[in-house]
Amino acid sequence: MADIQKIHAKKSLGQHFLTSAVVPSWMCDAAAITSDDTVLEIGPGTGVLTKELLLRGATVVALETDMRAIEALQETFRDEIAGGSLILHHTDVRTLDLSELPSISNHSFKVVANIPYYLSGFLFRTFLESSVQPTDLVYLVQKEVAKRITTELGRGEKESLLSLSVKVYGEPKYVKTVTRGHFTPPPKVDSGIIAIRNIGKINFEDIEESLFFNILHLGFGQKRKQLLGNLSKQYSREILTHTFSTADIPIAARAEDIPLQKWLILVKELTAHT
């Protein structure tokens, strides 16, 4: 394993290296990693998570932008690279076209990664909205973000633009809190493991993906306003009243109080008026 002391974390890359072997084990359990899996890892850093993925028999495709980490990984996993179980790419995930990776195709892989906090939103969108989707996604992210995505109205919590944008593609679950002491340097806040399973685009068989997000953004435009008021910027009150009735949405409801399934009905009903 690469000496953590030889690679000083770069703040510009949002690096917080895992130093605990137990966290990678939790993440691999959350992703149900087996020897049949191809796993895409983003930012392997010193290879703590990479090691656990390989120990479980997975083929790992690792994307790393830091050349210092690339050199350390090449040294640590020389045999695995030679044997083809670790495929290492020196690249920035923000500029990568997933369809160009020869070992990756739609629903043929899982994503497991400890990702930089500042890239969380981008990396959720990249893999969930892509035409090349994983079957499962497990991220180690800021705890607050993981909690916000996995809200449940039945527990008295509220939906958000983020939670609905994830739930429309898969089933998110909050797995475990990871305290800051498991990293070097330690981040200022705790992290959380989030797993998203059964990823796909089945919800967009009857509605347009772009229209769903347009209406979702419109609905959350002014959080303190009622949903009907926000949507009335684009649709007549008469149309909205009828549509709300069809979707069984209270007239006075706010966007944060509407579950995904009712949003899907709402968008389907509004399709004819768009």
Q: What is the pLDDT of residue 244?
A: 97
Bridge partner list, 112: 138
239 vs 255: CA distance, rounded Å? 17
For the chain, domains (ranges, CATH) are 4-200 (3.40.50.150), 204-273 (1.10.8.100)
Residue 3 in this model has a pLDDT that exceeds 50: no
90 vs 109: CA distance, rounded Å? 19
Q: What is the pLDDT of residue 268?
A: 96
- Give me the percent of the chain exceeding a pLDDT of 70: 93
Residue 28 in this model has a pLDDT that exceeds 90: yes
Q: What is the pLDDT of residue 118?
A: 86
Residue range 196-220, pLDDT digits in tens: 999 999 999 999 999 999 999 999 9
2 vs 73: CA distance, rounded Å? 7
CA distances from 52 to 29, 56, 92, 200 (A): 10, 6, 23, 27
Work out the mean pLDDT of the chain and round it to a whole number: 91
3-state secondary structure of 42: strand
Q: What is the mean pLDDT of residues 148-173?
A: 96
